[in-house]
Structure 1
Amino acid sequence: MDHSHISSPEDDARLEALGVKSDFDRSMSMLENFALGFTYLSPVVGVYTLFDSSLQTGGSPMIWSYVIAGLGQFLVALIFGEVVSQFPISGGIYPWARRLVGRKWSWVTAWVYVWALFTTIAAVATGAAPFLALLTGAPSTPFITTAIALALIIFSTACNLAGTKLLARVAMFGFVCELVGALFVGGYLLVFHRVNSLGSLLDPMNAAPVNGSYLPAFLAASLLGLFSCYGFEACGDVAEEIPNPGKQIPKAMRMTIYIGVGASIFACAALLLAVPNIPAVISGETPNALSDVLLNAFGSTGTKGVAAIVMVSFMSCVLSLQAAVSRLIYSFSRDRMIPGAKALSRISPHSHVPTTALFVAGLVPSAIAVLGFFAADALTTIVSFAVVGIYVAFQMVVAGALYARFRGWKPSGDFTLGRWGTAINIAALIYGVLAIINILWPRTPDAAWYINYSMLIGLVVVVVSALLYLAVCRPHLRGTTGYADAWLISPRKGR
């Protein structure tokens, strides 16, 4: 059945002034847009994926990495809010980089980001397998893990292909389930199973060397916060699918940080205060702290209920990730920047979503997941790139915004930071550069070199491939939409 095209003359006129024609439905509300960002950030996925390893590495104070990353990413979200408010174009990071700096910069930014999202989808889908195995009682073998990952990606693709309305509804369902689940599980643990004092959240215990600094251990464990505090950019990836995006999306981005990071801290604190013997976890005697806490608190039947909530979180996270990367591919293709651009930029007349781009957003992560079945070491190297790739792409936009400011850009959307803009932009860039250095820093000095530098290797391969394609095929010369024009657009005289 054909859906009527929902649009806004004012929003369409705004895009037309930017040289863009949209065929999307503007059927997503601000709350649904926020839900998309929240389920992409996914507090439950972040906490439940890295809780054990971060606790073993840095002890209870690792929870403060959420605060640091949350504050830093809030600065980034403010800059993104200014940019999307002036350039509310689908694809987010790619068109922003194009307008702020230029075509070559945007090509590299988008190439890094698209591969980071592909690998993140594969990693999240694969990470869901142990929880589904716990829920169903199936053995967690490599074959079953891969099969579950593929099934999850196929399900997500089918949901996304149905259109923006279903995407928004599933995102809202995932948001409600995840937030209620996190609050219930965390609240129950705090009331009935708290065994540690609040002071333990400041005590590194035996994670800190006797005569050394605790800082290296904390920085190593801080991957928990760094991994969990992004997702707000997905709100901007669907900018052509929400009415009045210049006002609504910056608000949704900030809500994603407030509520998403807040829920992450609450869930993590509840788990930490319920771990009966944290020194044993740090020493490696009790490696499965998360599952031990859940089994002790909820029993085998109750733990399956928790696993069901976790599975909903993983499913909605994959759905949001795939929606984000498909819009990026679509926006990239609309400017004829990649092979197969004509097909990849085609919008379905029925569902008003980029069908071919969504298939690619399902096929490539599926191939990466299958690679893990045959070569686990290769998958580790590829997936390790995911987090640093996202941070690098973010900072290319943040640096681009600062560059544009120095060229004379004065943000003219509905959301601006006014006279604080430059200072916040510089602070966001400093945070992002330090975060990237921390992410790339070798975590296990005794491991093989290719394990220690897997993130850097992945980043170098992706960036070099982007530069080679740029030099040989010169895709930046295609397309007719504006570029490097942020500082040439005069401030608006109101909406």
Structure 2
Amino acid sequence: MDTSIEQDGDQHLAEFGYKQELDRRIGRFASFAAGVSYISILTGTFQLFYFGFGAGGPAYVWSWPLVFAGQLMVALCFAELAARYPIAGSLYNWTKRLGSRTTAWMAGWVMLTASIVTLSATVLAYQITLPQLWSGFQVVGDGTGTYDVAVNAVVLGSALILFTTLVNAYGVRLMARINSTGVFIELVAAVLIIVILALHATRGPQEVLTDTAGRGDGQQLGYLGAFLVAALASGYVMYGFDTASSMGEETIDARRTAPRAVLRAVTASFVLGGLILLFGLMSVDDLDDPQLSSATGGLQYVLLQAAGNGLGKAFLVCIVVAITVCCLAVHTATIRMMFAMARDNNLPFAARLARVDPRRKTPVVPAVLIGVLSISVLLVNIRQPQIFTTITSIAVVMIYLAYLLVTVPMLVSRLRGRWPLEPEPDGARHFSLGRWGLPVNVLAVLWGAGMALNLAWPRREVYNATAPYHWYLQWGAFVFIGAIALVGLAYYLLRQRHRSGVLPDHAA
């Protein structure tokens, strides 16, 4: 490693008021892998295909490029910020410079709570894949009982959270090594899956792209209404690319590496994920097969049908690897957010949460606490799976809102002529949108607001799909997010803001 580059990163961190404590070991591929593994195309597409197909039919695949176009606008804004502020807990620290400290705290609070729930939700993907590999993974009952699947999902998910907790507590080097290996396997597997599905194609792309399967018939908005619901499946997948920037204090030459990693992660995920969805629909034997819209079938069913049982199960193993590193990346990013807020004395017991183990150079207490909290949230799934579905959807909405708490203050800074906030350090030139910054920023804000509203819209099929029906579940996004935001804001304004400030042990 070039020590001059490492020292340069430490010097810039000192300019932001912090001393270097974390282990700066992450290289280009590991940084890229952090963003890719959080998005995790094999996890997201295989976990949510059945939902998107069930709501929008084959033509729902159009939602993938639509979501990519919108998220690319957000990623471009983040890349510009990552080049200037490569700091842990990126969203929180960016907003602290773009807006007020209250806005920054809300961005951090919203992202932190959403990420904990996201970790709980993502580990449930084990239940969709592992029992299809081997029936022995259904350790609770035989899968036919009322709560067999839900309880088993908690057991498998808790085991995965325990693993990610131990890895993150051990240190960033082990995390990066496992994550990079897993992403390499995921990328290779994704390419091979695309090839196999393409070779087994039984119809042309025009049949897939124009087939609505009668979805939307009789609805007020017609197919548009069905498509907006189906688009949630893509919206639930393509986020988390900011993880590469959140690890800026651990990345070598972060000002150059992190922006590229953010953009490469979202672009690679779009290309590979889009081809998997398209060729998967082109290769399936019967587009009217009810297994395609079943949580126990979906894209896994398509892959097994195309590749055969033996080869198909080998790919399912790769999907398990992808799920594992995805959860590892989510856990890692959440730790950095908690550490960044605690270092500014913006959380209870901040000194303990911000403490970096001197030997492992990683915050151990946040790793353990986040693991415990995620398992606690996961326990809701045992008897109330519909409530957990509501909470999961709400977590994704909150992440989109956290992104808005960055892009909106950034747009205000541009409109007021205050961007960039500071000149490039030492006359250096890093990633910049230049004259395209304003239109890209405007599109990022419009997209984020529109998608957040679409995600939060009180649709019964999303927030209260099965009986018993409760108004507070159907309106869950507005009720729960409002409550979380009010509780967080009240806590900060009444108590924490008077104590806010960089802890002496962490100050440069």
The separation in 2 between residues aligned to 1:145 and 1:292, in whole angstroms, is 19
AA in 2 matched with 1:338: L
Between 1:88-97 and 1:376-385, the stretch displaced more is 376-385
Q: Cα gap change, 1:286/1:340 in structure 2, threshold over 3 Å: closer, same or farther?
A: closer
The structural deviation recorded for 1:284 is 6.6
Amino acid aligned to 1:467: L
Residues of 2 paired with 1:356 and 1:310: CA distance?
A: 30
After superposition, the C-alpha distances for 1:401-456 in whole angstroms (9 at most, x for unaligned) are 11222343232452211122112111110111111111112333795333422233
User: Is residue 124 of structure 2 the alignment partner of residue 116 of structure 1?
Assistant: no
Equivalent residue number for residue 491 of structure 2? 469
Q: Partners in 2 of 1:210 and 1:194 — Cα distance?
A: 32
Residue among 89, 92, 116 paired with 2:90: 92
Letter in 1 for 2:180: M
Match of 2:506 in 1: none
1:183 equivalent to 2:191? Answer: yes
SS in 1 for 2:260: helix
Match of 1:50 in 2: 48
The reply on whether 1:456 has 2:456 as its aligned counterpart is no
Q: Which residue of 2 aligns with 1:202?
A: 209
After superposition, the CA RMSD in angstroms is 2.2
Letter in 2 for 1:440: A
Q: Write the deviation string for residues 305-357 of structure 1: whole angstroms up to 9, x where unpaired.
A: 22211110110000000000000000000000010100110111111111111
- Please tell me whether residue 271 in structure 1 is matched to residue 284 in structure 2: no
* Match status 1:170 vs 2:178: yes
Among all aligned residue pairs of Structure 1 and Structure 2, give the percentage whose two residues are the same amino acid: 28
Tell me the TM-score normalized by structure 1. Answer: 0.91
CA distance in 1, matches of 2:295, 2:371: 37
Q: Report how far residue 281 of structure 1 moved.
A: 4.0
SS in 1 for 2:236: helix
Map 1:101-250 → 2, pairs under 5 A: 101-138=99-136, 139=138, 140=143, 141=148, 142-191=150-199, 193-203=200-210, 204-209=212-217, 213-250=222-259
Question: Structure 1 421/306 Cα, relative in aligned 2: closer, same or farther at 3 Å?
Answer: same
- Aligned 8 A contact 2:52 2:233 in 1: yes
Q: What letter is aligned with 2:480?
A: G
Secondary structure at the counterpart of residue 71 of structure 2 = helix
Q: Indicate which of 346, 364, 378 corresponds to 1:337.
A: 346
**Larger displacement relative to structure 2 (334-343 or 380-389):** 380-389
Stretches of structure 1 that go unaligned for 5 or more consecutive residues are: 482-495
Report if aligned partners of 1:55, 1:281 keep a CA contact under 8 Å in 2.
no
| Mapping 1:346-495, distance limit 5 Å | 346-411=355-420, 412-413=423-424, 414-444=430-460, 448=469, 449-475=471-497, 477-480=499-502
Structure 1's 70 and 82: CA in aligned 2 closer, same or farther, altered over 3 A?
A: same
Q: CA deviation at 1:282?
A: 9.9
Structure 2 residue matching 1:205: 3-state secondary structure? coil
Structure 1 residue 157: Cα displacement: 1.2
For 2:427, the equivalent position in structure 1 comes to: none
Which amino acid in 1 is paired with 2:191? L
The residue identity in structure 2 corresponding to 1:260 is S
Seen in structure 2, the aligned counterparts of structure 1 residues 234 and 440 have a Cα distance that, compared at 3 Å, is same
Q: Structure 2: which 5+ residue stretches go unaligned?
A: 425-429, 504-508
1:114-167 per-position Cα deviation (integer Å, ceiling 9, x unaligned): 111111100111221231222231334233221110110011111112212111
TM-score, normalising length: structure 2: 0.89
Q: Distance in 1 between matches of 2:498 and 2:202?
A: 59
Is the 1:66–1:265 Cα contact (8 Å) retained in structure 2? yes
